[in-house]
Amino acid sequence: MGVIPLFTGLLFASVRLDLTPTKLDGNPLHLLSPSRNLTLSLVGGKAQTADSIPVASLEEGETLSLTIRCVTPSTLQIATSESATVIQSAALCSSAESLYVDEEALFGCVSNVYQGQVLLMERLCSNVSPTETSTSRNHDETTESEENESSSRQPVYVAEPLEVNEGGSVPLQWRNVYVFTDHDARLNVSNKDVSFSLLDGPLHGSLLLHDRPTATFTYADLLVRSLVYRHDGS
Ligand SMILES: *[C@@H]1O[C@H](CO)[C@@H](O)[C@H](O)[C@H]1NC(C)=O
Ligand SMILES: *[C@@H]1O[C@H](CO)[C@@H](O)[C@H](O)[C@H]1NC(C)=O
Ligand SMILES: *[C@@H]1O[C@H](CO)[C@@H](O)[C@H](O)[C@H]1NC(C)=O
């Protein structure tokens, strides 16, 4: 799962993320907008943008914390604790829509992706061997007995509450129902392949897919906001 939608413009809330590459290669991060996309590549021990503007020097296995924000309506700044790089882009400052993590090009992990105070994504690791992934799993999981591996093969949920006015309707977004399967390489499941079945329906309303009540939906339905929760006013 690579698309991380931003909830507001970069002028209003910065995006922060940690990048821990295990191999310095390729273009794992893309900041997407309809009129300009910015790529962050990792080559020759450096993180740099597609314009070949160096952002930071980098070593394999080291974690780089980046903050991306607009300091003026047309000046995008990418900062680390050591340095700051600026790129002129009114397009990205006014209309950046999402951060795309190219899982094929990512060797390592992107984690703690925040916009302002909002956690957009906890962790996405790709092309990392299971042992490397397990060292970064959280405490509860690593203390589980290795004999019973199935019990640790659980998806992690990053579900934010959905707010809806009484009697109103609101589309569910991926961050309301996020299955974070990528934390465990043994699952080897992409969120693209995830489908959902409703076990207990909502108490005060219904879930609609293309305006019809539904008990099943796919992750793709969430991404295009086709799944709507309608409150019944009670
Ligand atoms: C940026 O990437 C998105 C998603 O791949 C694409 O829809 C959009 O057209 C791209 N914009 C530019 C300027 O290439
Ligand atoms: C493994 O864990 C699951 C879920 O906690 C449990 O139902 C099952 O009995 C356990 N299996 C073994 C062999 O301990
Ligand atoms: C994960 O699944 C893909 C496609 O099903 C396969 O090509 C790949 O080898 C698998 N990776 C691992 C680590 O099992």
Instruction: Convert the pLDDT of each residue in 90-142 to its tens digit.
Output: 999 999 999 999 988 999 999 999 998 888 888 888 887 655 444 433 444 44
Which-ligand-closest: CA of 153?
Answer: 2
Residue 152 lies in a domain: no
Retrieve residue 203's tokens.
């108490």
Residue with structure tokens 């019973």? 148
pLDDT tier for residue 175 given thresholds of 50, 70 and 90:
low
Q: Are residues 22 and 117 in the same domain?
A: yes
pLDDT tier for residue 203 given thresholds of 50, 70 and 90:
confident
Q: In terms of Cα–Cα distance, which of 27, 36, 38 is closest to 102?
A: 27
Question: Does the Cβ of 81 fall within 6 Å of ligand 2?
Answer: no
pLDDT for res 133: 43
Q: What is the CATH number of the domain that holds 84?
A: 2.60.120.200
Report the C-alpha gap between 9 and 7 in whole angstroms: 7
Residue type at 195 in one-letter notation: S
Residue 61 pLDDT > 60 = yes
* Residue 19, domain extent: 3-137
Measured from the CA of 145, which atom of ligand 2 is nearest? 14
Question: Does the Cβ of 91 fall within 6 Å of ligand 1?
Answer: no
Residue type at 227 in one-letter notation: L
Share of the chain above pLDDT 90, in %: 30
Mean pLDDT, the chain, whole residue set: 80
Q: 3-class SS at 106?
A: coil
Average pLDDT over residues 3-12: 89
Q: Which of 63-77, 92-106, 154-168 has the lowest mean pLDDT?
A: 154-168
Report the C-alpha gap between 54 and 191 in whole angstroms: 32
Report the C-alpha gap between 126 and 103 in whole angstroms: 6
Q: Which of 150-154, 187-191, 196-200 has the lowest mean pLDDT?
A: 150-154
Q: b/e per residue, 137-173, with b = 16+ CB within 10 A?
A: beeeeeeeeeeeeeebeeebebeeeeeeeeeeebebb
Structural domains counted in the chain: 2
Residue 147 lies in a domain: no
How many whole angstroms from 188 Cα to the centroid of ligand 1? 27
Q: For residue 186, count CB atoms less than 10 angstroms from its CB and return exposed for 0-12, middle for 13-18, buried for 19 or more.
A: exposed
Q: Are residues 98 and 15 in the same domain?
A: yes
